[in-house]
Amino acid sequence: MQLRDQHRLLPMIVGIGGTTNPVSTTELVLRAALRMAEERGARTRLIDGHFLARLPLYAPEVQVRTPVQEELVEIVRQADGLILATPAYHAGISGLLKNGIDLLEDLRDDARPYLSNRAVGCMVTAYGWQGGGTTLISVRTTIHALRGWPTPLGVTLNTADRTFEESGAFCDRRAEEQIALLVGQVIEFAERFARRHS
């Protein structure tokens, strides 16, 4: 097998989410998940809160796309699997992430429309457990609407508890294990689907 063929078979996992605070728990957990994916042999791309904040508000009647909008759509188009991370704001998905997701309407007419045939791992951070649970349901429902496959495991993290050391390493081993399991499910689905269609 040629090197370029080997590279093509490595799954591309795209992480989307975060906040405008680059050291928020949401940002840290998304970056940690992508590092885990790389350790398992996947290629990764990150669309973080800083990137999402540059997107204009999605307006369905506007057909012209900015370069940053085009970039987001093209990155997701190439994805074999996705990992989404959002803070729970008033028991709902953040406006930053929702605005980016709304732009995926541009994938409607693709050969793989929307998020078809892609597993999506969903992670939610919240100050308290109640908001995390309701937001996770909302994110998973949105993925279903986009024809994606939410992984069996969704992860909620209570930011009232400490998850990361100042170095960025996990101090909550249970959270680390859950995120590793979620990442494994995303990659396993991506690899199985690639084998079916190779």
> Mind giving me the DSSP string for the chain?
--HHHHHHHS-EEEEEE--SSTTSHHHHHHHHHHHHHHHTT-EEEEE-HHHHHTSPPP-TT-----HHHHHHHHHHHT-SEEEEEEE-BTTB--HHHHHHHHGGGGGTTSSS-TTTT-EEEEEEEESSHHHHHHHHHHHHHHHHHTT-EE-S--EEEETTS--B-TTS-BS-HHHHHHHHHHHHHHHHHHHHHHHHT-
Q: Delineate the domains of the chain, giving CATH numbers in brackets.
A: 3-196 (3.40.50.360)
Residue 198 has pLDDT above 80, yes or no: no
pTM of this prediction?
Answer: 0.92
Average pLDDT over residues 165-184: 90
Residue 156 has pLDDT above 60, yes or no: yes
Residue 197 has pLDDT above 80, yes or no: no
**pLDDT tens, 48-81?**
999 999 999 999 999 999 999 999 999 999 999 9
**pLDDT tens, 128-137?**
888 899 999 9
Residue 195 has pLDDT above 80, yes or no: no
